[in-house]
Chains A and B, each alone.
Chain A
Amino acid sequence: MSGHTVEHLHPLYGLMAEFETPTDLVEAARRTREAGFKKFDAFSPYPIHELDDAMDLHDNRVSLATLIGGLLGCAGGFGLCSWVSGVALPLNIAGRPPISVPMFIPITFECTILLGGLTAAISMILMNGLPAPYHPVFNVERFAGASRSKFFICIESDDPKFDRDRTAGFLAELGAEEVSEVAR
């Protein structure tokens, strides 16, 4: 599957272009976004922070989820200590108050971290749509290089601006080494 005039695959997921360097990838991603494409993605073997600006990626929902998880952990931890020591099993030991706030801080803190950390990891995985047992991009054989040393951009056929021939031409213009069709 090389060149951009290969036999047409039905149904088509999108078109994938391969780039040699991170600089090419960032430039191509920026121009793809500026050309008005919405449903496209860039792939690189390590995080490239310049891509966040080039593709206008500013999803802060993981941070928000983590904040909520942490606050819930904080309230839950303190609530657990207070309910147990104040309501469920109040023990009068040397006249200390049933709800002895300073003594509850360590567990409140640990619960905050526990729930915050778990939320950060789980929300990241779920918002990324993982676990994903199948994804069309893997149908392109060369895509295995995306986790090793190669850079890719894939424009999806669902994008309103997508047109099989013109989009293939556009990707070739961006300096792609190779444009492949991605079977769904």
Chain B
Amino acid sequence: MSQPVELPDKIYVGPVIDEGHSLASVSDKVGGIVLKRKITLGWVFGLLLAFAVLQNLMAGATWLFVKGVGVWGINIPIGWGFAIVNFVWWIGIGHAGTLISAILLLLNQSWRNAINRFAEAMTLFAVMCAGMFPVLHTGRPWLAYWMFPYPNTMDLWPQFRSPLLWDVFAVSTYFTISAVFWYVGLIPDLATLRDTAKTRFTQVVYGALAMGWRSSARHWQRYEKASLLLAGLATPLVVSVHTVVSFDFAVSILPGWHTTIFPPYFVAGAIYSGFAMVLTLMIPVRKFYGLDDIITIRHLNNMAKVTLATGMIVGYGYMFEAFFGYFSADTYERFMIWNRMTGPYAIFYWCLIFCNIVTPQFLWFKKLRTSPGLLWIISIVVNIGMWLERFVIVITSLHRDFLPSSWGMYWPTIWDWAVFTGTLGFFMTAILLFVRVLPMITIFELRMLLPAARVKEPVAQ
């Protein structure tokens, strides 16, 4: 168990969990949200709204299946439109969950305990949204299984030298391992719900999901080992996923894509956007469910700091993209960066610079990092900025490459927007259902933060 570190007053903004909580009270508080709390009008309204927006996906996908990908704004030369922009954006958002659950576990950061479950759920839903786009983008999603290597009567196999196939493996592995890690983390909490549930139905459902977990020390020992191993495996995995995504671009020869800085810059951007999304979701949730004694100002402050740090790395990436363009002395590279800054899509580029470089600078101030309302606004701006970044990378690189005769323009159609907003609806629907049916905070790890949970000295040896 990690010992609390005394912070100097200057940087101390509050505890990781408010005083006055006991082993029983954290269980009842977090479990009670699922088991006892009445369904509120606000939640129903939110769910209806999210579900209504989700219908955009149904309409957009249906029309796409009827007519083909021509209903989107994609063309030659811009074959990768919204589908890839949104794919990269969503998968990046997912990365914060794995970072919080795996990397911060290995670093023994106890503040992660209150936010990891929620962030991991966000990861799963974001990866689901991301996964839809390449499949829809194939135009014939019912043949998407062709991407997997399996013996077939056509005697064909996938091309293992293609980054697009690496993506298939990276994203499906990422989703599988994230889901497994999340479920393993849920088992003890499901047992808590099973043991405190009052109705037969909830007892049976949570009981089946908890698989008969009985809090045994012999089980905990293997459980902790497996968690640590999963964290150790998920850490390189999360870095590899966005690296592979960046290979989709960097392995090509297109100016604006063919850059060695892409892998680290994509990973930093992913964590940056992911933390922004965690803040966007968590600030309202902690308010509506009265969780500010568990998700404290300290958590918001720490997340804001990670956002700032990764935002600076992203800013460094933008700077060096421009510098490489200039320093390469290559006509096409120079034109690409000049076109990005002054061409037809310049407005997107400068908005992106404003959202991703200017806005996070506010996070240098402790006052802003510790005021939830302002932090929430900043996190929304960062989310928009990261979406713009993907738009700029995908579209401005493709639309004017080497030969002016093959230049073109891309504008999304209403069906592009329908599918994109539809996934936003899907994401929000999933989040709203999640907070009602599963404990959104890892209860057993919260218990470990309490002074009452510590074993006193003479025995500890």
Residue numbers of A with Cβ under 8 A of B are 21-23, 26-27, 29-30, 41-55, 57-63, 66, 70, 80-81, 84-85, 88-89, 91, 93, 96, 100, 103-104, 106-107, 109-111, 113-114, 116-118, 120-121, 123-125, 127-128, 130-135, 137-138, 143-149
Contacts and interface: CB of A to CB of B under 8 A. Distances in A.
The DSSP consensus for interface residues of chain B is: helix
A113 B233 contact: yes
B214 A135 contact: yes
Interface residues of B, number: 69
Given A84-B149, A124-B225, A134-B212, A117 B459 contact: no
A109 B192 CA distance: 36
A107 B195 contact: no
Given A26-B455, A51-B220, A113-B177, 13 more contacts: A23-B456, A29-B217, A45-B447, A46-B220, A63-B229, A109-B240, A110-B166, A116-B233, A117-B181, A120-B233, A135-B212, A137-B214, A138-B214
B191 A147 contact: yes
Interface of B: 1, 22-24, 27-28, 149, 155-161, 163, 165-166, 169-170, 173, 176-177, 180-181, 183-184, 188, 191-192, 194-196, 211-226, 229-230, 233-234, 236-237, 240, 244, 247, 444-445, 447-448, 452-456, 459-461
B176 A114 contact: yes
Contacts, number: 217
Contacts of B229: 62-63, 66, 116-117, 120
A57 B217 CA distance: 9
Contacts of A63: 225, 229
Contact of A128 (B165, B173, B222, B448): B222
Contacts of A147: 27, 188, 191-192, 194-196, 213, 215
Contacts of A143: 214
Nearest to A146: B215
Given A50-B460, A148-B192, A149-B23, A62 B222 contact: yes
Given A46-B448, A133-B212, A113 B237 contact: yes
B192 to A, nearest CB: 4
19 contacts: A42-B217, A45-B215, A45-B444, A57-B218, A80-B149, A84-B158, A89-B156, A96-B161, A100-B161, A106-B244, A110-B244, A114-B176, A117-B176, A117-B177, A121-B183, A124-B226, A132-B211, A146-B214, A148-B195
